[in-house]
Structure formats: structure tokens, C-alpha cells
Structure 1
């Protein structure tokens, strides 16, 4: 009788482990990357003391952390992350960062626009992100503009303004080749 009880638990743990494993990048694709975050929006609306204390009112912080997490889930090896002080990081800055960290490419994510006027009422904001992939020689391999209206619960919208930006970054970084 004991094996009959252990088998379902073992099966569930194997299935959960398989579901949680990060994706594996295809052979020959870019794997080792750096992340560079930029923003034309200087400060996100502050929702809590915690956000102010750990720097989450800075959109670059939110973008960098979330991009790194999503890329790691997708099988990329993120070797370093930088928050550019410029609204739009210069190609030279990205190339230098790629070369310093011996990466294959740099993933650049820039917050172009954030309209929070509908957050408290509708639980939705308008977000425009620009994404790009740059190789170590400075050639832009891929670029796209991602427009999003992430929706979160009204309760979360009132307490965590960054949840909108995190949701938009998650959706946008999924399309990076």
C-alpha cells in the first residue's frame, strides 16, 4: 500500500518540476546577454513606502529587474544589468557594456510613455515600450515598439502602481527573439 501512496506524490512533483524549468534556447541562438534599461519617464507614481525605500519608483529599476527575470525564464543567461542614466541609451554605451561582460548581445528596453490616468478607476494604464537587441559590434539585430494596456485588479492598482509596468514588460520581453 505504501507505493500506491508515494506514486501520486512523486508524479505530481515530477510534473511541477518540469513545468517550472526554464526554457532552453535553440542551438545557434543568442544565449548570453546583458540588459540595459532606459526611460523617458523619470519617476513612477509612488504607491507605498516600501516602493520608495527599495527604489521601485524609478522605472529603470522595475524594467531592469523584470526584464532580467523574464529573459532568465526564457533560457537566456543574463550576465549583467545596467540602468542607463540617459532616457535612451546610446549604442556606444550598450556596446561597451556588452564587451565588458563578454556577452553575445544586449537587450535594451526603454519606457517611452506611461499614462496612469485610468489606473484607479479602470485598473488599466497605457504603456509604450521600445525593445531592441544589439550585437557587440553595435549592429541592431532586432527592434520593436510594444504598446500595451495592462490590466490589474483595482485593489492592486491602488497599492502597487508598478504592477502595470511589470505586466507590460513581461508581455513585451516575451517577443524578444
Structure 2
């Protein structure tokens, strides 16, 4: 009976490992990208000294880091990231950044709106992100507006306001083709 339990545990651990493995992009799809983050929201609410110290009050920083992580997990090769100073990055800025880094495309993530009024009480905020893919010539290949209301634990909602934005970016970047 004991070998059967060991085999079962081994099988379950292999399944979890396979599920956590990095995805591979299909043949012929875009693989090598740059990430450009923009935001109409100037500053995120501050939850801690750590957030202020590490620059996490800047939504562009949170968006760029999280979008890069999700794209890498999905099998993309992210060659560079940029935090645009403009609320909405111009296609010329994105296409020149793509060309400088010899990428196939650019993934642009823009924070359009953030309502944190329900964060402390409900553990939820409302977020509107625009996500797009631009080619090196500056042509928009794909775009979508993602509205989400990410929910996190009450403790996390009171101590880490950025967790809402990170959760929304994860959901938005998952739909990039």
C-alpha cells in the first residue's frame, strides 16, 4: 500500500510542476517584444514606506514590472521595458523603441482609470486598462480595453494598494494574442 501512496504523491507533484512551467509561443507568432507602460493616473495611493522607497507609487513602474513578468511567463521574450512620461505613449515613441531593441512588436499597457474608494472596506477597486500591440512600423495590430474589479484580502488591501493594480495587469496581459 505504501508504494501506491508514494506513486500518487509523485504523480501529483509532476502535474503541479507541469502546470507551473513556462508556456511556449506557437510557431509564427510574435515572440520578441518590448513593454511600454503609460498612465493617466499620476500617483497611486501610498500604503507604506517601502512603496515610497521603491518607487511603487508610480503606476508606470508597477505596470511595467508586472506586464514584463506575465509576458515572460506566457513565453514571450521581453527585451526591454519603458515607462513613458506621456499619459498615452505615441505610436512613434513605441515604434522607435521597438526598432532600437530589434523587437518584433511592442506591448503597450495604459492605466486609464483607477477608483480606490472601495479598497479598504470591500477589498476591491475598479481599474480600466488599455492594452495594445504595435509593430515596428507603428501600426496598431491589436487593442482592447479591459475593465476589472480585482479583489484581494482585506489585510493586503490595507497594506499594499499596488496589489490591485498588479492583479488587474495580470488579467489584462493574459488576453494579449
Q: 1:4 deviation in Å?
A: 7.7
1:27 to 1:121, Cα distance in 2 relative to 1, 3 A: same
**What secondary structure is seen at the aligned counterpart in 1 of 2:57?**
coil
Deviation at 1:120, TM superposition (A): 0.8
**Shift, 1:59, TM fit:** 0.2
CA distance in 2: counterparts of 1:129 and 1:14, whole angstroms: 36
Question: How far apart are the structure 1 equivalents of 2:13 and 2:153?
Answer: 31
**Which blocks of at least 5 consecutive residues in structure 2 are unaligned?**
none
Give the match for residue 45 of structure 2.
45
Report the equivalent of 1:63: 63
Q: Secondary structure at the match of 1:143?
A: strand
Cα RMSD of the aligned pairs, angstroms, is: 1.7
The residue that corresponds to 1:16 in the other structure is 16
Q: Deviations over 1:73-111 (max 9, x none)?
A: 111111110000110001111001100110000000000
Structure 1 position 12, deviation (Å): 4.8
Aligned partners of 2:49 and 2:153: how far apart in 1? 20
Stretches (4+) displaced over 6 A: 3-6
**Structural mapping, 1:81-160, within 5 Å:** 81-160=81-160
Q: C-alpha distance in 2, partners of 1:126/1:52? A: 22
**C-alpha displacement of 1:13:** 4.7
Structure 2 distance, partners of 1:83, 1:173, is: 16
What is the count of residue pairs matched by the alignment? Answer: 177
Question: Could you report, residue by residue, the CA deviation over 1:8-29 in whole angstroms, capped at 9, with x for unpaired residues?
Answer: 6654553333122111111111
- SS of the counterpart of 2:145? strand
| Displacement of 1:62 | 0.4
Q: Tell which deviates more after alignment, 10-19 or 166-175.
A: 10-19
Between the aligned partners of 2:9 and 2:157, the Cα distance in structure 1 is 38
> Residues 106-127 of structure 1, C-alpha deviation per residue, up to 9 Å, x if partnerless?
0000000001011111111110
